[in-house]
Structure 1
Amino acid sequence: MRENDFFEEAEAADVWARQQEALNTDLIERVHAGPLKSATDVEIAVPLARLVHDEYRNRGTENNPRISVHESRAVMAALRAVLKRLGVDFRPPFFDFDGFYSYWKNNNGSNSWQARRQMLSELFDPLHEQLADLEVGTVASTLADPVTSHPRTGWTRVDEEITELRRHFQNARTEQDYRNVGNDCVIILERLSEAAYVRDRHLFDGEEEPPVASTKNRLERVIEVDLAGSENAALRKLVRAAIEQAQGVKHGATINRRYAGVSADSVILLANMLRRITEGSQTA
C-alpha cells in the first residue's frame, strides 16, 4: 500500500472545480478495529505512519492538511492501534491537530516552522526506520539483493518503495501487473533523485536546480561530483550503465516477467550503489 491509498475521490463543489480527495474513513476505522484481510499490519503501518507524519507536518507548517481535526485524531488512533498489534512502542505527546498546536506552543515552536518539523522528525523518523526493518523481514526476495549486510539503503522513502516493488513483482502475473512494476521503478528513480542529489553539493554556481522528475540529469550530476577523477572512470561507466538501464522503464514497456525483473533488479542495484557512493563521498 501507499499513502494515497487511504484517500478516495470526493465530489467537487461544482463541475468546474478540481477533483477533491477525501480520507477513506471506513478504511481507517477498519484498520483501527483489527487486521485486514487484504493487507498485513506491516503493509498498513508503513504508509499510514507516513500519512500521519505528512499531515501533521502540513498542519504545523503550511496549515493546509488534507484532513480535519477529527480525522487527525482518527488516523493517529488507527496508527497507534496497528503499531500495538505489531508490538511497536509509539507514544506521541499529542493525539490530534489541536494537541500538536498546544505542544508546539509549549515547546518553543510558535515562531518556527523548522522547530515544528524537527519535533515531528524526532518522533516519526525512528518509527519509519523501525517499520522499514519490519517490512524487510516480511517480504521474501525474488529480486536482486545487495552484497552489503544491511538489507536497506537507509533512505526510508527509497526503502519503502523498493519493498513495494518487491511485493508487486512477487504477485505479478499479467501484462498489466508487469507494467505496474515498471511504474514502481519510475517512482524509485524519483525517490533516488530526491535522496542522492544534494543541492549544496551537486548544484553548480549559476545553474537552476533540475526538478526531481529529471532523474537522469540529477543522478548524472551525482556521479560527476561524487566519482570524480580518472581512478573512478570504470566505476562511473558501471553506474551510468545502471542508470541507463533503470531509465529504460520510462520509455519502454515492461510487458513480461523477464523485462520487468531486469528493470527492477537494475533499480535496486542502482539504489544500493548510489547509497554507497554518496556515503563514501561524505567521508572522503
Structure 2
Amino acid sequence: MLDVEIVDSLRFGPPVGRTDLEVAVALTRLLYDDFVSHGTNGQGRRLDDETVPVVMKAHRTVLEGLALKPPVWPFRTFDGPRGFGSHRVGRFLGSMSMSSGVTHGPAGGLCDIP
C-alpha cells in the first residue's frame, strides 16, 4: 500500500538524489495509471479514496513549484459524493488524452507514459 507520509513529504521537496521534475512525472504516472485502471478493469490500482487526495495535493504542489499548471481534476475520489465513479473517470481521461497539446506534445502523450 502507498506510504502516505512519504507522498505528503514530497510537497516540501524531492527525496535526496531526485529532482522535482522526476517527482512530478512519478506522481503524474501514478495518478494517471490508477485513474485509467479504475475507469477500465480496476486491476493494478495502488490508490484508494483516502490516498488519492493526498497524491493529488502533492502533485499540485510539485507542479506549481515547477511553474507548471496542474490539471483540474473534476473529482477527488474514485467513488462517493466527491467521486465520479469508474465510467466517469474513464470518460474524463478519454477526453483529457484528446485535448490539444496533450497527445502530441514534445514529450509524447499521456498514453505514452510507461
Identity of aligned residues (%): 27
Structure 1: stretches of 5+ with no match in the other structure: 1-21, 133-153, 161-190, 192-284
Q: Is the 8 A contact 1:31 1:82 kept in 2?
A: yes
Instruction: Report the equivalent of 1:36.
Output: 15
Instruction: Give the CA deviation at 1:26.
Output: 2.6
Q: Counterparts of 1:116 and 1:61 in 2: how far apart (Å)?
A: 12
Q: Is the 8 A contact 1:60 1:101 kept in 2?
A: no
Q: Counterparts of 1:59 and 1:156 in 2: how far apart (Å)?
A: 16
Structure 2: stretches of 5+ with no match in the other structure: none
Q: 1:68 to 1:48 in 2, by over 3 A?
A: same
Q: Counterparts of 1:42 and 1:61 in 2: how far apart (Å)?
A: 28
* RMSD, aligned CA: 3.3
Structure 1 residue 126 corresponds to structure 2 residue 102: yes
Aligned residues: 108
Q: Which of 47, 55, 75 is the equivalent residue of 2:55?
A: 75
Instruction: Report the equivalent of 1:46.
Output: 25
Q: Counterparts of 1:67 and 1:121 in 2: how far apart (Å)?
A: 21
Instruction: Report the equivalent of 1:27.
Output: 6
Instruction: Give the CA deviation at 1:38.
Output: 2.4
Listed as ranges, the matches of 1:214-233 within 5 Å are none
Instruction: Give the CA deviation at 1:116.
Output: 4.5
Larger displacement relative to structure 2 (59-68 or 74-83)? 59-68
Q: Deviations over 1:54-111 (max 9, x none)?
A: 1011112223422211111111111111001001112412233233416x8xxxx56x
TM-score (norm 2): 0.70
Instruction: Give the CA deviation at 1:43.
Output: 1.1
Q: Is the 8 A contact 1:45 1:82 kept in 2?
A: yes
Instruction: Report the equivalent of 2:78.
Output: 97
Instruction: Give the CA deviation at 1:122.
Output: 4.6
Structure 1 stretches of at least 4 aligned residues deviating more than 6 Å after TM superposition: 155-158
Instruction: Give the CA deviation at 1:25.
Output: 2.0
If asked which structure has higher relative contact order (CA below 8 Å, sep 6+), I would say: 2
Q: Counterparts of 2:58 and 2:109 in 1: how far apart (Å)?
A: 25
Instruction: Give the CA deviation at 1:157.
Output: 7.3
Q: Counterparts of 2:14 and 2:26 in 1: how far apart (Å)?
A: 15
Instruction: Give the CA deviation at 1:34.
Output: 2.9
Instruction: Report the equivalent of 2:34.
Output: 55
Q: 1:157 to 1:59 in 2, by over 3 A?
A: closer
Q: What amino acid maps onto 1:61 in structure 2?
A: T
Q: Deviations over 1:214-252 (max 9, x none)?
A: xxxxxxxxxxxxxxxxxxxxxxxxxxxxxxxxxxxxxxx
* Structure with more helix by fraction: 1
